[in-house]
Structure 1
Amino acid sequence: MTKTTPRLRGEDLTLAYDERTIARDLDLEIPDGSFTVIVGPNACGKSTVLRALARMLKPTAGRVLLDGQHIHSLPSKEVARRLGLLPQTATAPDGITVADLVARGRFPHQKLLRQWSRDDERAVDAAMASTRVSELADRAVDELSGGQRQRVWIAMALAQETPILLLDEPTTYLDIAHQIEVLNLCAQLHEEQDRTMVAVLHDLNHATRYATHLVALKEGRVVAQGDPGEIVTARLVEEVFGLPCVVVPDPETGTPLVVPRARTSRLGRDSAHPAVHAAAHAPAARPAGGAA
């Protein structure tokens, strides 16, 4: 079977801020229709890579391709019709209502001689319904809880009606219940609307539970990528994060669950656990060029 070229990919990327190089010679492909999650330790380049894919950061070398075209050669509105971005720290104008903020997602579809249309109305209503914020339409965004605000921002991104949606740490500053709520919503949107989702997450267990394709970064390079169930091992976690652990099946989903090793005084008791024995014999992680 002939392998199709993904719509979004980076080739030989060198990414830098001023004089500081974050990544060099980085190749990354986002499988179409996947829920791709990028993980790695702090300052490894996760958000930098996402910003480059979203055209928010221009590579100092290499290129990002969107539908086979250099992303920086495309008009801004054209990119915004194909690719949506939820930034890490989104700020709403003071006093803006939920409906008005979500409606801003339609800006890429506006033209000089055609402003608001029935298509715009339909897209906004559908986006608010999908994220369950319709009943909040007349509320001021700054009056909402953190979880509600994040759903509103996702609704705005959905209103763009882009086939690809990038989310930079969408669960930051949320408590555990709202983190799961947002991630369940993202998974539902991926499954029901066949959107390609790309997210940066800090929590490795959230990543392994929700991702269909996982990318592990360290010091600006891809260490491993592929199906979380195939690449996530104790050896990979220790290599990427420096964390001794065992990896066992999540009792809810069967996906990899990373359990940090206990402190030394507990190891004698815990080492007899069968999961520890199994993890010690886990296969090595697939190299970065492995299956997508």
Structure 2
Amino acid sequence: MIEIRGLSVLYPNRSIPFPATIDIPPRGNFLISGDNGCGKSSLVRALIFLHRKFDGSVVIDGADNRSMKRIDIARKVSYLPQTGGTQVELTVRDFILQGLYALGPASDTGTRYRDISEGLGLSGFSERNFAELSGGEKQLCRIARALIAPVSYSFLDEADAFLSRKNRVRFYEYIGKISAERAVILVTHSPSDAPDGFETLLEMYD
């Protein structure tokens, strides 16, 4: 469970307050929705301690996130940021496997890669150069990198941006399957795009 109490994200010229209590269970499909610029991404960055200036508390499976090492948070929570300007000269396989760095060497790396690449339609991409892919193909790889690790919580910020209709359907089918094992939290300004079965955790208005 992620327990958020009295959170207010602080910036030099303003603060962004959130509801007094937000609880995120470790399994299921959830939405955080709201207009552009209302603070959705700021909330997620505070939860995983990428943004460190905030009042209130965030407790991840019993541990205050301020007391957790970055590597320990990464073993609990994965994050797909909204910005998609990644340009790296890596094969698709090596790019996606970056998502397992927090776990260290693991015997099931090959199985995890195969499952995620098949689930998201990337099976034939392993040796392709990530930098040469289309925008939608890169987004699928970024999603795969965020979901490959067996974490308890995955925050995906505007994950379906750039995806074709076919790949959007495939994406939602895949996260529907893995929600029995983890919480998948979509951060979006278009909640109506998500299929049935997503529970709204928070609606934000600017």
When normalised by structure 2's length, the TM-score is 0.87
Q: Distance in 1 between matches of 2:150 and 2:159?
A: 19
Q: How many residue pairs are counted as aligned between the two chains? A: 206
**Alignment partner of 2:15: what SS?**
strand
Q: Which ranges in structure 2 are unaligned for 5 or more consecutive residues?
A: none
Q: Distance in 2 between matches of 1:91 and 1:122?
A: 28
* Preserved CA contact (<8 Å) 2:4 2:22: yes
* Preserved CA contact (<8 Å) 1:8 1:29: yes
Correspondence 1:80 to 2:74: yes
**Alignment partner of 1:58: what SS?**
coil
* Preserved CA contact (<8 Å) 2:139 2:163: no
Q: Distance in 2 between matches of 1:79 and 1:52?
A: 12
What do residues 179-230 of structure 1 show as CA deviations (whole Å, max 9, x unaligned)? 4443333223325xx22111111213124635134421224xxxxxxxxxxx
The change in CA–CA distance for 1:83 and 1:24 in structure 2 (over 3 A counts) is: closer
**Alignment partner of 1:10: what SS?**
strand
Q: Distance in 2 between matches of 1:89 and 1:12?
A: 28
* Preserved CA contact (<8 Å) 1:201 1:207: no
After superposing the two structures, state which structure 1 stretch, 206-215 or 56-65, moved more: 206-215
Q: Distance in 2 between matches of 1:209 and 1:93?
A: 34
Q: Distance in 2 between matches of 1:13 and 1:215?
A: 13
1:259 corresponds in structure 2 to none
1:99 corresponds in structure 2 to 93
* Preserved CA contact (<8 Å) 1:207 1:214: no
CA RMSD of aligned residues (A): 2.2
* Preserved CA contact (<8 Å) 1:39 1:207: no
1:14 is displaced (CA, Å) by 0.9
Q: Distance in 1 between matches of 2:10 and 2:172?
A: 30
Mapping for residues 129-278 of structure 1, pairs under 5 Å = 129-191=118-180, 194-207=181-194, 209-219=196-206
Structure number with bigger Rg: 1
Task: Give runs of ≥4 in structure 1 deviating > 6 Å.
Answer: none
1:21 corresponds in structure 2 to 15
Aligned sequence identity (%): 26
When normalised by structure 1's length, the TM-score is 0.64
The change in CA–CA distance for 1:25 and 1:40 in structure 2 (over 3 A counts) is: closer
